[in-house]
Amino acid sequence: MILAVVFGVFSAILLAGAVYYLSSPTETEKVTDLWNYRSRASYDVVAYLKSNNFYNRTTLRPEEGTFYSRIIDRLHIVFRYDFESNRPVSGSVDYYVVKAIKTPAWEKILETTPTATLPLNGTSNGFQAEHTIEIDDFKEIIRTFDGETGTNTNDFNITYQYYMTIRAESRSDRVDDRISPSIDISVRPRSKDGDIIVIGSQDYTYPGSIAKKETVQIVSVFGIYRYQYRYLTLGGFLVASVISAFLALSYVKTSPKREKSITDLMKPYREVVAEAMEPIHRRGEIVITMSSLDDLAKVSDNLAKPILHTRDGRTHTFYLYDGPNRYEYNEDEKQ
């Protein structure tokens, strides 16, 4: 019986494991980066100042102080672009620049440059270009267009935007990306902070990658795949359950049956069994021995006669008479 309990507990553990592994994924997606690359673009802005007492200097960068338009002679912008890759590449970057002016009422493209090409070779390539912005020239353009349109412009934006197409190849992988980094120069006369120029975003990074995706089996403990544990736990549960059931059934079959006491034996027949003070015997009686008290009760029921019960030491005798026939069943009291 102990073995049956052990295998029963073992089967319960295996069942819990089977439920866990059946409800858990057996596969996962593995991503391997094969090619990492990125484009970086930046605008470096320097303001050249008119003679002034406020800063008492000739140049100023955005991080060094507020750009007050009345003391700015011109802005010098250096655009830098770099293409970086973890693998050697070949290809090109085609680009052109759009210079525009925007007001709350209208916008105008002032210039679109011809397309230029940057060859890509190796792992790092780049170029830089310089632009000079004369603020007074743009104010003159604004006055001209206001005169033609009837608008009255105070605030306006000067925008330089690079439109770039990156075509690169490394081994058998190819990329065809398009980016458009820009810089906005916002001229705000008569703002609450004075006549100022605000510089927009200056730095851009465009990362890219080509990765290999594959589905792999999840490895569990002892280097065994999770899907294998499904079969191991489920099969182990079935085997352990069968062994446990077999041992329990064998134990039940081979265990000696508990014999009923006289009291338990008599309980179902209380209505038909009567106690006799002493044994009764008749001359010339014919004794018919019954195999069980139940059989004797059937005879009692058929003959409609009560069963008498006497005791002689440890022996209990149950009997009834039908003419000369004595129907009798004897049962020894269990120790």
Give the pLDDT confidence of 41-97 residue by residue, as tens digits: 999 999 999 999 999 999 999 999 999 999 999 999 999 999 999 999 999 999 999
Residue 25 or residue 334, greater confidence: 25
Task: Look at residue 277 in the predicted model and tell me its pLDDT.
Answer: 81
Average pLDDT along the chain: 89
pTM check: above 0.85: no
Task: Look at residue 203 in the predicted model and tell me its pLDDT.
Answer: 96
Q: Rounded CA gap, 7 and 106, in Å?
A: 86
